[in-house]
Amino acid sequence: MTTRGPVQVNVDAMIEDLRTLVEVESPSRDHEALTASAKTVAGVVESRLGGHARLVEGEAGPHVHWSGGGEPRVLILGHHDTVFPLGTLARRPFRVEGGHATGPGVFDMLGGLVQAVHGVAALDDRSGVEILVTADEEVGSRTSRALLEERALACGAVLVMEGAADGGGLKTGRKGCGTFEVTVTGRASHAGLEPAAGINALVEAAHQVLAIAALGRPEAGTTVTPTVATAGTLDNVVPAGATVTVDVRVETAEETERVEAAFAALAPHLPGARITVRGSVGRPPMPESASAGLFALARELHPGLAGRAVGGGSDGNFTAALGVPTLDGLGAVGGGAHADHEYLVVDAMAERAGLVAGLVDAIRNGRQAGELAAGAPRRGGGR
């Protein structure tokens, strides 16, 4: 099946490439699996675009970088790590039924990678285009951040291939996000014979959970959500230790500073208890101003295309924070990210590939990306 529009793509070939990527499982932090996945991604890129897709070694696993040559103008950004453990494929194999493709990672975000590659492949001239596919986005991008920021500054515009928002909309803003871990140290004692001799870390953790939850400001777009708690060893022992993990989402730098300062200021309620806090808002907010110009360009190419700010973070948060115009959510149309019902809408693949091709072409030919983003001036960069 070949679809013709502004560009020509073969949807059957896209599905076969998607199958190839999905059937090489790539859970985050599994270096061996991610090495195999990176080689597979590089093979798909080279087979469709020519040239050489180099593997950039990282502690988490290899990142894949391809360049069409010439002056860098636009970076297409994605990741090949997924949240699903090895063995998921056996339980949930790749399938195409009823207009949907299913399997681990089809929506987040292997489908977006395939669409990007085929969109660029449809262009006669691929100069100025770079593709970077990282290996650790799902776990914070610690080993890829410097590289993706370097290439974003060099190119001056970033198209992020994360899955689309509901209904196929683009993601024009993202909250900053981070994880905090609060550790409570108390003192153990026998819960029946001498409970007062202990310092109950679980009771202290309960006080901290209430204080932490109160830090949220929904009216400012800030959510502070305790998500995981552990404490104690046996039912007859006053617990000597407890930990609380907290998810934080913020819309502004001011809220980032407030929340981080509040975590740093946490103090124990029980005499003798100690509190240790680790973590930060690791991904800065992506303001809608960073995507304004590129989104307007996308609307010129596809009138009626929706855009929305979302709570989840991506590597687009990092590039937008540098002042580089960034548009997110250009990947697969579908849903169920990180869940067993994850799916991709096959009929949307050609249009999304065409959108990528159109944006790349417009950015390279006469549109200066730094002038497109109101409020997000480009900072210098180069090879």
| Both structure tokens of 89 | 């494929």
**How far is it, in rounded angstroms, from Cα 9 to Cα 133?**
21
Cβ(122)–Cβ(10) below 8 Å: no
Task: Report the run of H or E that residue 23 belongs to, with start and end.
Answer: none
Say which of 17, 25, 30, 81 is annotated catalytic.
81
Say which of 137, 204, 251, 342 is annotated catalytic.
137
Cβ(330)–Cβ(165) below 8 Å: no
Q: Which residues contact 382 (CB under 8 A, 6 or more apart)?
A: 72, 153, 154
Distance set, CA 342 to CA 27, 79, 333, 350 (Å): 16, 17, 11, 19
- Residue 81 catalytic? yes
Partners of 225 in the β-ladder: 247
Specify the pairing of strand 129-134 against strand 74-79: parallel
Partners of 67 in the β-ladder: 130
**How far is it, in rounded angstroms, from Cα 152 to Cα 157?**
7
The residue type found at 377 is P
Cis peptide before 109 (omega within 30 of 0): yes
* Cα dihedral 88, 91, 92, 93 sign: positive
Distance set, CA 335 to CA 12, 86, 123 (Å): 21, 21, 28
| Both structure tokens of 306 | 């929706």
**How far is it, in rounded angstroms, from Cα 310 to Cα 89?**
29
Distance of CA 124 to the CA centre of its chain: 30
- Residue 166 catalytic? no
Task: Give the catalytic positions in this structure.
Answer: 81, 137
